[in-house]
Each structure stands twice: as C-alpha cells, then as structure tokens.
Structure 1
Amino acid sequence: MKDGQSNLNALDFLNEIQIQKMIHRFGEDPDPRVRTAAIRAFLHLHQRGCKLDLSLYKLCVTCLTDDSEEVRFEALSLIWVLSTIYPQEMRNDVLDDNTIQNIRLLDDAFTKICDMVNDRSVKVRSKACTIMGSYHQVDESILLETLSQEIITHGKSWKPISGHIKSKKVFTPRFIPTPEGDLDVESAELRILKSSACGAFIHGLEDAYQDVRNAAIDSICQLCMHNEKFSKRSVEFLVDMFQDEIDFVRLNSIKSLHKIGTQYPIELDSELLQITLSVLNDADPLVRESTHGMLGVAKLKSPDLIPIFIKSLLASMARYPEDQLSIYQCFRRVGSTHGDYIERFVPKFFKMESSYISKEINQNAPEHVGHLILAFNASISNPKILSMLPAYTNRHYEYLRIKFPQCFPDVKVHNFIIHNLATKFNVLYLINKHIQLFMEHTIKAVLELEHLFRVRDFKAALRSIKYCKSNLKYISHVPLFSGNAKFFLKYLECIKALIKIKQTYMGVNFINSETDTAVNLLTLSYIMEYGFLGLESSARQFLVHIRIFAHVVWFLSHLSKNSDKYVIYVTYKSDFNILEIGLNSVVKCSEATIIRPVSNPNPAPPIDFQSQFPLTINVEAEVNNVDDVNTLAVQITLPDQSIQHFRPSSADLVTTQPNNYQLKTQIDISQSAWTGPSYIQLKIVRDFQPDIPDLDKHIMRTESTLDLSDAIEFYIWPKDSSNWVRA
C-alpha cells in the first residue's frame, strides 16, 4: 500500500445514489461557484456512465431561476440530460390555483427550457434556443405553442378581449372596466401558466442578439425535419428572417428553409414570395445563390405568381450576370414542380398568342433560355406542354442542352413525345454514323503521314496536313468525337514542326528558327500527354520520342559547328523518323469552363477597392476529364505579366461524374495602389512534371502548366485609401 492512501475496504465506498445525494447538498450552497461545480459534477457523472437519479429534476428547476448566470447555464444541460433519461415519467405539476396537472417529464422540461428564452443573459438565451431543437418527441400541441402569439392558460388559449363586450354592465365606482384589447389577468377564469412554451421561438427570432436568433433558426429547422405540421407553421417566421440586418442570419434562415423544403413541401403566398424575391438584390453572392436553391424547393400557391417570379429572377440575372447558371437551375426545379401552372403561360412565353405564326426567338436570349428551361422541365409532369411548343424549340433544345446540360431534362429518359421525334433521332443517328465514317477516313489519312515523312515527301505531307486539319476542326465540334479530333490536331502540329526542322536545318536562319521550333515541339508533347485522358502506350512512346528529338534540336542550335557532338547531333537529326502512333481508344480532352466571374470589359466601370485590403473573387468553374485534382490551380496574370497561382482545397471540388468536378472557391488578390485601372487575366490551369524539370523549364521558358480554360479578363483598380472613392 502506498503512503497516504486510506485503508478502505469495498464496504467503505459510496454507491452512486449516495454520491449524488452528497453532491445534491452542494447544489444548494450559498456560493454560486459551488452550485455551479455541483451541477457540473452531475454532468461528469452522466458522461462516465452513471445513471442520474430522477430526484435531481427538482434541483434543476430551482437552478433555472438562480441569480448566477453560470448556474442557470449549466442547469439547462442537466435538465436536458434528465429529460432524455426519463422522457415518459409523469410529473404532477401544482398550478397557482392548487390544481394538479399531469405532464410527461419530457414535455415539462421542454416548457421550462422555453421559459429560459426570456432570460436576461444572452449566453443562457442562446443555449436555451439551441437545446430546444433536440426535443424531437415533444408533444405536438406544446411544440406548436412555441410559434403562437396567444396567451396560453390551463386548458384553453385566450386572445385579447375587447372592453366594449362588458360595456353593457352598469359599473359601480369600485369596478374598473377592462380597456379594449387588454386581458383581465385577475379574473378567476384566466389562469396563466407559471412556465409556458407560448411564443418561445418568436422571442428567440426577435432577440436583439444575432447568436440567439441564429440558435432559434437552427432549432426550428431541426424540429421541422421531424414534424410536418410544425414545418408549415414555421415557414412564415423563417421568411421574415430574410430581412434580418445581419447577413449570416439571413443566410442561415434561407438555408434552413431550403433544408426543410427537401423534407416537407413549403408554400409561398404573394406576401412571402415578395419578401423572398427582395433577397435577390443582396450584395452577397452566397445569399443570392442560397435563395435560388430555396425557391427551387418551394411551391407557389397561385399560378398568378409565376410571372412575378420569372421577372424578378431575370432582373436579378441582368444585375448579376454571374448568377446565370444558378438562376437557370432554379428555373429547372420550379418548372419540374409547377407543370400545371407553366402550361398556362406557354403561349405567352413563345409569343404564340396572335393569329400569326410565331417568329423564332433568339436562342441565346436569357429570357428565352429561361422560358425553355421552365417549359421542358414542366413537361416531365405535364407532357401536354410539348405539343404546344413551336417547332423551332426542338432545335433550340438540342443546342441549349449541350450548353446547359444540368438545366434541361433528357427527352429520351422521360419518353417525351416531341413533334417528329422519332424521325429526328433517326436523322441524328445517320449523321453520327456519317461523321464516324468521315472521322475514320481522316484518321487513315493522318496515319499515312508517317510513310510520307519516312520517304521525305514533305510537300505531299503538308498538303495532307492541310486537308486533315480542315476535317478535324469540323469533327472537333461533335461531342462524341471531340477528344480524338483535338488530339490529332495537336499531332498534325507536331508533324508540321518536324517537317519544318527537316527543311530548314541548312538554311540561313537555322539557329533562330530551330530554337523556336524545338520549344514549340517540346511544349506540344507535354500538352498532348497531360491534356488528354485515355492515351495508349504507343501514343506515350511517340511523345517521349518527340521530346528527345526536341532536346537534340535545341542542343544543336547552341553548339559550335566545330564541336565533336555537333556531328553526332546532326546525324541523329537527319536520320530521325517518327514512330507509329496507335490510337484506337476514345480520348477525352481535359478542359474547364469558368462560370463565375464573368468578364467586365472596358467601357464597363472597373472594380475598385482599397489597396490595403485584398479583393475577394468568387470563382466557379466546371472541370472535365482531369484525373488528378491536386494539379489544378486558378492562375492570375497581372498587368506586369507576373503570375500568381491559387490552389483550391479538396472541399472546393465536388465530383459530378468520374474525373469531372464542380469547382467553387475564393481567391484574394492583394495589390499596391495603381495609378489607373487595368486588366487581370484569370484562367484554370493544370500543373505537370516535366521529364527533366530544370532543363525543360529552361527550354520552354514558361511555367510547367497547361491552360484548361479560356482567360477571363477582369477590369480592376486598386486605389490608395486617401484617394479612394467608390464610383
């Protein structure tokens, strides 16, 4: 036995009940620190697996009215623990008029916690609102009371009474009449509960502190996911929070309502829709995007609200062009759930209301695209709409479905009956078959270039390259063959560069021309290897062979003609022949499309900001056919041609299909003050590791990156704070 350790046997140890009774006495200590420690001790016992005794509930209720903030704060946790251990225990509650009310402990605890929403401490109010969200099994009538503005009494609810109802009485001087709109709280008929859930969430949503309001929104959302009736009642209150002065509170209420809408239907009347549409003018793009998502799961109560809805979203798109895709996706969801409503407006959408044949509308007009998205998605539930559409919409559908694939339904999947649909699919099949034969014929001509190169018939090779290049450019616009066509276009550039080297190595400008051609050849080989997926081993061997030749040509242009190595390199160069490139598999081109931001070219006003603070740019892009997302980066090219790379985190990339991703990230650009506005270029790039890193980077004179997207020009102006005035 160690020194200082008591010599106790098993009988001397206290059991769980005795320990709790001992701590219980400290819960009534005059010092608030001791009372707080006692409650925390009970919580520690619970966490260590000790079952707390039901008798502690009375202590918890008493502690909820304690003068100490910490005691009340900890008591909330303890009363929640007891209500989860003994949820069905019946409790006899003595009311003010000495009547006894039987209530489940779970419901009673919820009511007590609701009462704490009126606590003077922000910390306590916030925690009370947070805990309320975990009471999924509370009685529905009590739960609905939290959103009620009536006064709840024992057994009935009361609304404010009017004094003129009692005005028929002849009042004696001792009787003071009840003013109109007030309640006679001294009446024997009116017994207000000592602790009521009535209006608890309303108090939380109207609290002066944003932490309390946020906690109330979170709890309402949690409870709505388990009670449909409560979810319908809470829609009005959550929509009202869209007008909160704090952007985070607005965003939280929008996202919460979106989450509720995925579980239970939410309906918006004219007033609620107007409040929701007003949020589309919010300066925060995340708030606007979340609003689009929320509207997508909402149900409009009347078809008369459809024009207001469309007009507001199109106006928002005109003001914020970067929201285009998000708004179109909102149209898709609304169209699919409002088939009956959309049918009524199809003639107006496509200007078919007159007795004349409707004029074809520009297929790229944003309003027309929105109408098409609504109509085609509405036809999922209402196929009658398809027979109402003008004939030209079929062509627009085929074009726009490729441009916005996530916004249009697949007519083949849903068995749509479009005018002459079977005939059109047969024509498309014949067209694809024709293009495939055309592609095979062109590839055959491309592969014959190897023979022409070996026999040094360069003139015939160049004529063949010109012919094949024209064919492949046409084929590259067909999605089914696009990857292979783009790869062979790069292959033709390689052959053309090799022929140029063979033809000019004895010319006057031999050194200068061959250096540039070697750089171009080396760059092309890396683009072909890392810019495409699905290459066969023979294609990779061809590219390695090309890189070796590019190195030789570059070295040759830097060697003296008297050098021994010069003769060796010249011999290798003159005897060089290309390897056979076999490409029977389907090749996909790695590419990206920047959705946000959009270019703001001059004469549009520049985006000015104080140079002391970074400019935050929200970047959204679709990245396709990339096998390693760790190589992706957002590249910024500044006016002085300096380059910055921003690496998105794994959380910024969402997989949509194998090797396809949705990129959403933020970049911060820090710049000192400029004397005037200028452009920066933004694009998506991919890194690659060269075979000989130091040498290849030196030869190519550029970063080892491949462009996946077109560059977006952004017109900005960092200003000094002393001269900064927003336009």
Structure 2
Amino acid sequence: QQHTPSSSGGGGDWLPSALTDPNTNTVFASLLSLPHALPLNADCEQEAVEGLLSLLHSLSTCTSSEADTVEDAAESVQLQQGAEAAVSKQDLLTQVVAVLPLIITARPDNVNVQLANNAVEALCKCGTQWLQKERQKQLQLTQQPALPTVEHSACATSRVLGQTVRAAYTLAQHCHATAPTGQHSGNNSPPHQLLRLALACLSVHQHHLVKVSCLEAAGGVCSRVAGQQENVNPTLRLSSGKKEQRNKTTNSTIAEVVMALLMHSTHHDNRVRTAAFKAMVVCERSGVRLPPEAYTEVVEALDDDYQCVREAAIDLITSIAINDGERKVPPTVDGEEPERLADHAFFRICGCMNDSSVRVRVRAAASLSSIPAVSHQVLLQTLDKKLFSNMRRKLSYHERQAALVSSGQWSKGREWGEDVVQEQLSPETTSLTHSAGAFVHGLEDECLEVRNASLDALALLAEGSQLFANQCLDFLVDMFNDEIEDVRLKAVQVLQRIVRHIKLQEDQLDEILHALKDSWNCIRESVHTLIGSCTFTTTACLQATVAALMDNISRYPQDVSSIQLCMVSLGRRQAGLVAGLVPLLLLTHPYFDAVQPSLHQAPYICKLLLVLNAAAKMPTILPLLEEHTLHHYAYLRDTLPNLVPQLKVSQSINSPVSDVLSNTEGFLQQSLSKLRRLEGASTQLRLTLYSSVYSDLQKLSALDPTMSAAAEFAALYTRCSLLLTRLLNCPGWLQQESSGGNVQQLVTLTFRLVHAFTGLGPGDKACARGIRLRALALQLVYVVNGSTGSALGLCETFLNHAKPLKESGSNFTVSSNNKKKDASNESNIIPEDEFLTSVLNQLNNEKRPGTVARTLQPLLSAHPPTPLPPIVNPRAIHQATATIKEPVNDSDVIHKLIAGLLLAVPLDAQLSHIPDPSAVRIRISYPDQSVQHVVPRLNHLQAMDDPHCYRLQTTVLLTAGVWSEACQVQLSLVLDLSPPGPKRKHDPHTIDLSEPTTVMLWPKPMKKGI
C-alpha cells in the first residue's frame, strides 16, 4: 500500500516504529512505502534515521552464520503460519541503504547536517565491515572451489557495498553544500572516512560496481577536500604546527587518491577506466593538478576500444589543456622541439574527428572550441586538407614532376616543379596529420549531430579570431546547401554571429542569396536577418541582394514583413552604397518623368524603406528624390512609423501626424482626466463621455504602436464602465432577455482586462480587479433574480475574488489619505474603492447567494466604477497578442480531403508578451459551431530575442464528416487560463490572442473502387 504525505508534510500514515518489528517482511514493506511518505517532519525524520542506523548496525555486525540462523528461524516461523518466505538480509540491507539518503535529503534547502554526518559515519563503518567480510570470502574462495551460491552471495555483497559508498557520497555532497566552510576539514571527518573507505575498496575489491562507485566518490570528495584546504574557516584557530601537520596529511591523501585514479585508468574493465577518467576530470576542474604522466596516459586512451572511455578521455584532455595549456609536452621523436600542451591537446582531439563513434566525434567537435590560447597556425590547419608530413614516403623527382604536370598544381610561392629538399620545408606550410582538415571532416560528416557540433565550435572559435573567421567563411557558406534543414539554419545562425569580422564578396553572396529560395520560412527569415547585418564591398553586391529580395517577395509574399525589416537594417548599414543606386532602385531619370509607382506594391515599399533609411545616414540622397517620393515618405511615416526615420524635408511634406505621435502620451492622460471629473455627473453625461473617450482611445491605439497596449487597456476599461453603467440604469434590466448576453459580455471583457496586460502599475491593477469584481457581482444579481439556474458557484467565485482584493490593497497607499503626491510615490497609489469596502463590511461571513445578491444590488447602483489613475509609464504596458502569418485568408483555395481522414494545415504565428507559453492553445471553429482547443508542442514554440515573445510553427490537423460544399474553418490562438477542477459552462477561461484566419475545407465521401 502506498502512503501519501499529509498536507503538513508530516509523513502521512508511515510510522518509524515499523522498523523495529521482528518480522522482516513487515520491515521490508515499511521501507518500500517510506519514499512515498516523504518529506517527514523534523521529529519523525530524527526517529526514522535513528531506526535505520540501528537496523543497519545490527545487519552489518552479525556474522554470516548468525544471519543465516536468523533468516532460517524467521522463514520457519512464517512457513508454519502459512506466510511467504522471509526477506533476505542482503535485500533488507539494500533497501535500508537506498532509503537512508532519501530521508535526509528530502528537503534539499533544509538538510540536517548532524543527521547526515552520523549517517555517513554509519555507512562507512558498515562498508568497512562488509569489506572485511569480502576479504574473508576471497580467502575462502582460494581454498575451495566457488559454488554457485557463493558467487551469488558475492555479487549481492558487491551490490550492497557499491550502493553504500554511493549513498555516503550523496550525503557528503549535501553536507558540504550546507555546512560552513572548514567544518569538515578534520582528518577524522566524514569526508575523510569516506575517502579511506573508497581507497580500501579500490585496493581490495575487484567487482566493477564497487570500483565505479568508489572512483566516483574518491574523485568528488578529493576535489572538495582540496577546496577546503584552500578555503578554511578563519574562525577555526589552529597552531602553525597543527596546520602544517593537517596540510601534510591532506596532501598525502590527495596524492594517494590521484595515484589510485591513475592506476585504475588502465584497468581491464572499460567501465572502471571510464569512471577513473571522469573522477580525474572532477579533480582537475576543482584545482587538483594531475601529474604529467596522467596526460600521457589519457592521450593513449584516445585509442581505446570503447567509446565511453574515449569520451571521458576527451573531457580530461580538455580540462588539462584549459588549466595548464602553456606547459611543454616532451616530443615523442628525437630531434623535435617540445610543444605547448594546448596545441598538442588540440591536435589529439582533432584526430578524434575521424572516430568510428558518432558520440566521440560530437564530443571532440564540442571540445575543440573549449581549449583556449590555441595558436593561429594550428587553427588554420583544421581548415586545410593538404598534408605535407615527414610520415609520407618521399617521391622521386621524376614521380613528382609527372604528378605536377598531369595535375597542373602549383607549389606555394615556388617555381614549377622545383625539387624542395626535406630540410627546406617550413613549419608554417607543414600540416600535422591529426589537425589537418579536422573541421572540414566535421562539416562533411554523415551524421547531422557532428555537423551541428562542428558549426557550434566554428562559431565560438571564429568569434575570437578575425583571421579564422575569414578563413572559415567559405566552408560556412557551403553548409547552406546541406540536405538537412536544421543544419542549414544553424549555418545561417553561425554566420550571423561572426558577421562583424567579415566582408562578403560576390561569389560568397551568391550562395547566401540562393538560400532565399528555401521552402522553410525560418531559414529565409534568418537569411534576411543575416543580410541586414552584413557589410558589402561593392554596389554590385547590394544590387544583387535587392534583386534577390524582390524575387523572394514574388515567391513567398508572406515574407514581406521580414524583408521590410531587412531593408531597414540594410539601408542604415550600407548608406554609402545605396546613395549610388537611388535612380536605379526608384526608377527615376534626371530628364524624363517616369510612371509614378503605386503604394500597394510591396516591392516598391521595400525599396523605398531602403532608400529612406539610407537617407537618414546620408543626407545627400534627399535631393535625388522625386516629389511623389516625398509624398510617399509622408504616407509611410504615418503608416509605418517604426520603420521610417524622421527626415529633414520641407514643412509641407512633413507628416501631419508626426506632431500627434510626439504628444500621444499627453492625449492619453488628457482623455483619462475627463473620466476622473465625472464625480456627481448625471447618468446621461456619463454614458456620453464614456462613448466619446472609448472612441478616442481606440483611434489612439491604432495610431501609435508604442502606446497601443496602454491605450487598449484604457479603452477596454472605459468600455466595461460603459456597459456596467448602461445595464444598471436600464429600467427592468433584470427581466429583459438581452441582459443575459450583456452581462456575459461584461464578464468576458473584465476577464481579459485582468489577464491580458502586463507591466501595469498597482493602481491600474486595482482598478481592473475592482471592475472585475463588479462584473461578477452583477452576474450574481442577474442569476439570482432573473434566472432559474443555481448561483452557489457564482457566489463562491465572487467571495473568492473579494477577499484577496482587500488584503492586496492594504499594502499600498490610498489616494484619499494622501493629499500630497509626488512622482516617486505616484506609482504606488491605489484609488480607494468604496464598493469593495462596503461589500466586505456588510457581508461579513455571509455565503448564501440570495442574501449576498440582495446586499450587492443597491451597492452596485450607489458606487459607480472607479476612474483610472494617471498611467505613470504607459510604454511599459504590454498586451498578449499573436499574429498568424500562415495560413492566410484566401477563400479561393479549397482544401479537399476524404471525410473522416486528417488534413495537415501548416500554422506559423508570432506571439508577443506571453508570460506562460504552456497556456497557448489553437482554437479550431467548425461551421457546425463545434470548437476544439489543441495544445501545441512546447518544442514548436521558439523563443525570440524580445522577452516573452515566441514563434509558433506547427501543423494543425483538421477532419470532418461529409459536407455538401466547401465551408469555412476558422483558426485562431487563445490563452487557456482555466483553473484546475470542474468548469462552469459560461465562465470565461480563454483570452483571444489573434484574429481568426479562415481555411476553406471540403470533406468529400470516399470513392468506391471498381
């Protein structure tokens, strides 16, 4: 039976007294149910750990004959009682050792250090006793043949011993993380006891499970002991003699651990060798310097037969090269000069790029970018496939001459066919076998994981070296033709990271522009971003780029917005080149009048954005513009203010909206101030002013994109106030059937008002929640008086919203009690809501819907909605929105499918200011009024540069029965904010993020075969 924890975290129904039961089956069952009762409270945890340690001590101290006698007695008693066989001692020990660290570390942020230390000491004693029994067992095995039962017992002992060491290491890690520095620095501390146990097991025990656990513990504890030696708590006062003796003991222990790791790096079992190398990696990264012979052994391990060993060896070589890269490595051949360890390690890891294992090649590619201070000559050799090495056979003069004439190759800087003696080969022109062409092989690898890892390594290395970035440019451009889309996308992204170091030539630009024909829009948009960040050398490059982008618009019209951003960035960076192409781009002539282009043409708009943004950097472009171009500039300045810069043109051409844009914030505050002067006004005046302000705020939202969210928030609040006031002042609204729809609309709008906006100030949030509370009160009053439905759920929802509002409002300043306001305190001012105060004072603990409704009805009429306070920072307010780019609204395209089968429709959308992307849903509305909400995969949501902005690329599956004709299916994006548990039918729980897009669907019956 599984026990669930109680709400207070006290362990549920599990009792520590079950550990002292004489029946082993009862104890074992209690141990099995213990993990389900975690975490325990402090008292129960103390008692449980003491019981487990007592049980562990009793099981580990008894001899084998005693344990067999106890097990036989228990088994005979249970067989007489008709029960199943008793649990063995080793199974019980295994469960005790497994459960002990789980109890102590159930709360990682509140570990009882004293309990953990006691557990580590007990586990070390248990391990020592089991190790002594293992020694005795080995002596017995040498004197008599091994029986199957003995082998099984030895294997079980190895499993228990390995698990014991691992449990002690887990507890020691948590003790080190929570205990003060230097607390466990003594030679008899639990970490040192664990080290001695691990070293003893490594020297005696031969089973791989034990050795792997001990190597892991030895490496981890040794690194922590070394760190404690450098960072001892200054409050611990020790004499100089004691300090010196303790440091000597610690150093000898560390040296002993390092020698044990080196000895096991050549073990016959590959799992042990892997564990030894991983432990050395931990030691090296924590500051424990390995001896020089360790590097020699790990280099030889690169030729190991097992890929796990080679992977661990690559990690260790990388760590040594990072910490000690300037050390000289002695040559393997007489007469050669010593090499820098960083270069030598880089050479050796480059050799692993041709390994037979994919995992090793990926690890090698990732490690190449981690080694610092590698020589430029070594880096450049990774991009060179030609090998000039002494290891090759020296060809004769006639053989070399025949090969040169037949191939047409030329010697670098030397005469045709010249015989160069071996001594004249310069080191700069000689490539070593391991490093030559390493990245070329990685980029041409058959596995995409290796190619991706190679691209990542190239990006990191090229970011720090301009010379290397220019050398690898051709190879990155070649990756644009890869067969895998993800690799092509990563190649574009890598080129974006190093674009500041390079200048594109015409032949390289042709390959990049060819990627604009790719069918995947992510690649095309990444290429647009890349082109906007590039630096061109000639006007021919710019002209070819513009032509390719215009072709992209004709192929994929949905890329217009991305191309417009590309043109804006390109115009700002290449203003000098654009100035020479203005007549060609705008099709103007100094003598003849050309046809005036239309502003409805997307290619012309993109070219105009290029020229206008270049004119902001190069004022000499303005005299080249025609009069109609300047009028088009004024239009674009009004419609696309975030893409068109402000230019110094004549006053008659300037946009009339430019002055309005500069004063939109003042207009917003002025509109809100009108509503704050409505106190004591008549109902008719309120309704008229609400309608006027709502209309003005809607126009302001469409006019200025930077103020759109704040204006939309104020407009939505004004609309809710308008609906609420109109309903309450309509005679007999409780008996009208249309009131139900208006009340539901008000509840839906207030739900959006509260949840769709971020960046609001405390006063704005309080006003939104206040009108939300009024909408819920109005809904409750309408259901109680004008409907026959149950109002218990509505009453509970209303009371749950009312109480938190009073608690949150007490933490801020109330405007009525603060006559003197300043700018620093204005953001913390919350208008006093008399409706909320009256509701809490009159209802008290009342929960009956009828009584609550009768109390709320006069309060709603007596207290109109609170006006919004001044919005302190309107540009910090954001609204959760989404824009569906694909599919587009096109009624001419009809998607036909067989009725009952699925039709995959690609969906591409851009989501902005979404706090929780897991709440995004795709709403599918069919013509029969049925609605489906589909949860997109989280990996289909790609995070963008702006915070809380995502790109959704997924596939929507549509299906339907047989229809007589094609009908519209609407797709839209919503946020699902429904709470857990059952939901009422009319409660709003979704927020619309986008306008619906229409897909024409026509399911047809399946044709019968002949």
**Superposition TM-score, scaled by structure 2 size:** 0.56
- How far apart are the structure 2 equivalents of 1:72 and 1:618? 43
2:937 matches 1:707: no
Q: Which amino acid counterpart does residue 420 of structure 1 have in structure 2?
A: S
- How far apart are the structure 2 equivalents of 1:251 and 1:645? 28
| 3-state SS, counterpart of residue 636 of structure 1 | strand
Structure with greater helix share of residues: 2
2:543 matches 1:307: yes
Contact 2:743 2:775 in 1 (8 A): no
Give the C-alpha shift of residue 144 in structure 1.
Answer: 0.9
Q: Which residue of the partner structure matches residue 737 of structure 2? A: 512
Question: Residues 581 and 152 (structure 1 numbering): CA distance in 2 closer, same or farther, change over 3 Å?
Answer: same
Contact 2:967 2:1000 in 1 (8 A): yes
Q: Which residue of the partner structure matches residue 601 of structure 1? A: 890
Contact 2:908 2:953 in 1 (8 A): yes
Give the C-alpha shift of residue 327 in structure 1.
Answer: 2.5
- How far apart are the structure 2 equivalents of 1:325 and 1:395? 22
| 3-state SS, counterpart of residue 55 of structure 1 | helix
Q: Give CA-to-partner distance per residue, 1:275-329, whole Å, 9 cap, x none.
A: 2222223233322222222223222232112232123223334433443333222
Give the C-alpha shift of residue 229 in structure 1.
Answer: 0.3
Of the three residues 649, 652, 657, the one matched with 1:419 is: 649
Q: Which residue of the partner structure matches residue 189 of structure 1? A: 422
- How far apart are the structure 1 equivalents of 2:332 and 2:665? 86
Q: Which amino acid counterpart does residue 517 of structure 2 have in structure 1?
A: N
Q: Which residue of the partner structure matches residue 460 of structure 2? A: 222
Of the three residues 621, 630, 641, the one matched with 2:911 is: 621
Q: Which amino acid counterpart does residue 239 of structure 1 have in structure 2?
A: V
Give the C-alpha shift of residue 552 in structure 1.
Answer: 3.5
Contact 1:163 1:179 in 2 (8 A): no
Question: Residues 214 and 339 (structure 1 numbering): CA distance in 2 closer, same or farther, change over 3 Å?
Answer: same
Give the C-alpha shift of residue 224 in structure 1.
Answer: 0.7
Of the three residues 493, 497, 502, the one matched with 2:731 is: 502
Question: Residues 152 and 11 (structure 1 numbering): CA distance in 2 closer, same or farther, change over 3 Å?
Answer: same
Give the C-alpha shift of residue 343 in structure 1.
Answer: 1.2
- How far apart are the structure 2 equivalents of 1:471 and 1:118? 68
- How far apart are the structure 2 equivalents of 1:575 and 1:63? 81
Of the three residues 926, 930, 933, the one matched with 1:644 is: 933
| 3-state SS, counterpart of residue 621 of structure 2 | helix
Q: Percent identity?
A: 22
Q: Give CA-to-partner distance per residue, 1:77-106, whole Å, 9 cap, x none.
A: 3433333343222334355xx542332222
| 3-state SS, counterpart of residue 337 of structure 2 | strand
Question: Residues 73 and 592 (structure 1 numbering): CA distance in 2 closer, same or farther, change over 3 Å?
Answer: closer
Q: Which residue of the partner structure matches residue 682 of structure 1? A: 971
- How far apart are the structure 1 equivalents of 2:478 and 2:521? 20
2:445 matches 1:207: yes
Question: Residues 356 and 722 (structure 1 numbering): CA distance in 2 closer, same or farther, change over 3 Å?
Answer: same
Give the C-alpha shift of residue 419 in structure 1.
Answer: 0.8
Give the C-alpha shift of residue 470 in structure 1.
Answer: 6.8
Give the C-alpha shift of residue 256 in structure 1.
Answer: 1.4
Whose RCO is larger (CA < 8 A, sep 6+)? 1
- How far apart are the structure 2 equivalents of 1:604 and 1:178? 63
Q: Which residue of the partner structure matches residue 259 of structure 1? A: 497
Question: Residues 722 and 112 (structure 1 numbering): CA distance in 2 closer, same or farther, change over 3 Å?
Answer: farther
Q: Which residue of the partner structure matches residue 329 of structure 1? A: 565
- How far apart are the structure 2 equivalents of 1:593 and 1:104? 55
2:955 matches 1:665: no
Moved more, 243-252 or 229-238: 243-252
Give the C-alpha shift of residue 272 in structure 1.
Answer: 1.9
Q: CA RMSD in A?
A: 5.3
Question: Residues 318 and 198 (structure 1 numbering): CA distance in 2 closer, same or farther, change over 3 Å?
Answer: same
Question: Residues 672 and 528 (structure 1 numbering): CA distance in 2 closer, same or farther, change over 3 Å?
Answer: closer
Question: Residues 504 and 242 (structure 1 numbering): CA distance in 2 closer, same or farther, change over 3 Å?
Answer: closer
- How far apart are the structure 2 equivalents of 1:447 and 1:11? 82
Q: Which amino acid counterpart does residue 662 of structure 1 have in structure 2?
A: C
Question: Residues 706 and 216 (structure 1 numbering): CA distance in 2 closer, same or farther, change over 3 Å?
Answer: closer
Q: Which residue of the partner structure matches residue 66 of structure 2? A: none
Q: Give CA-to-partner distance per residue, 1:452-490, whole Å, 9 cap, x none.
A: 43xxxx7x9988888777777666654369444565455
Aligned ranges 1:401-550 → 2 under 5 Å: 404=640, 408=643, 410-411=645-646, 417-420=647-650, 424=654, 428-429=658-659, 451-453=681-683, 477-479=702-704, 482-483=711-712, 484=714, 487-489=717-719, 491-498=721-728, 501-502=730-731, 511-523=736-748, 526=751, 535=764, 544-545=773-774, 548-549=777-778
| 3-state SS, counterpart of residue 535 of structure 2 | strand
Q: Which amino acid counterpart does residue 213 of structure 1 have in structure 2?
A: R
Q: Which residue of the partner structure matches residue 582 of structure 2? A: 346
Give the C-alpha shift of residue 181 in structure 1.
Answer: 5.6
Q: Which amino acid counterpart does residue 579 of structure 1 have in structure 2?
A: P
Contact 1:118 1:203 in 2 (8 A): yes
Q: Which residue of the partner structure matches residue 557 of structure 1? A: 786
Contact 2:671 2:693 in 1 (8 A): no
Q: Number of matched residues?
A: 676
Contact 1:136 1:226 in 2 (8 A): no
Moved more, 109-118 or 186-195: 186-195
| 3-state SS, counterpart of residue 268 of structure 1 | coil
Q: Which residue of the partner structure matches residue 486 of structure 2? A: 248
Moved more, 73-82 or 440-449: 440-449
- How far apart are the structure 1 equivalents of 2:621 and 2:971? 42
Which structure 2 residue ranges, 5 or more long, are not aligned? 1-124, 136-195, 201-244, 412-416, 790-849
Give the C-alpha shift of residue 137 in structure 1.
Answer: 0.9
Which structure 1 residue ranges, 5 or more long, are not aligned? 168-175, 412-416
Q: Which residue of the partner structure matches residue 469 of structure 2? A: 231
Contact 2:904 2:956 in 1 (8 A): yes
Give the C-alpha shift of residue 231 in structure 1.
Answer: 0.6
Contact 1:205 1:212 in 2 (8 A): yes
2:864 matches 1:579: yes
Question: Residues 166 and 354 (structure 1 numbering): CA distance in 2 closer, same or farther, change over 3 Å?
Answer: same
Q: Which amino acid counterpart does residue 252 of structure 1 have in structure 2?
A: K
- How far apart are the structure 2 equivalents of 1:329 and 1:440? 34
| 3-state SS, counterpart of residue 325 of structure 2 | coil
Question: Residues 355 and 75 (structure 1 numbering): CA distance in 2 closer, same or farther, change over 3 Å?
Answer: same
Contact 2:895 2:1001 in 1 (8 A): yes
Question: Residues 686 and 91 (structure 1 numbering): CA distance in 2 closer, same or farther, change over 3 Å?
Answer: closer
Give the C-alpha shift of residue 202 in structure 1.
Answer: 1.3
Question: Residues 527 and 205 (structure 1 numbering): CA distance in 2 closer, same or farther, change over 3 Å?
Answer: closer
Question: Residues 422 and 43 (structure 1 numbering): CA distance in 2 closer, same or farther, change over 3 Å?
Answer: same
Q: Which residue of the partner structure matches residue 366 of structure 1? A: 602
Give the C-alpha shift of residue 331 in structure 1.
Answer: 2.1
Q: Which residue of the partner structure matches residue 172 of structure 1? A: none
Contact 2:635 2:655 in 1 (8 A): no
Question: Residues 230 and 545 (structure 1 numbering): CA distance in 2 closer, same or farther, change over 3 Å?
Answer: closer
Give the C-alpha shift of residue 146 in structure 1.
Answer: 1.2
| 3-state SS, counterpart of residue 101 of structure 1 | coil
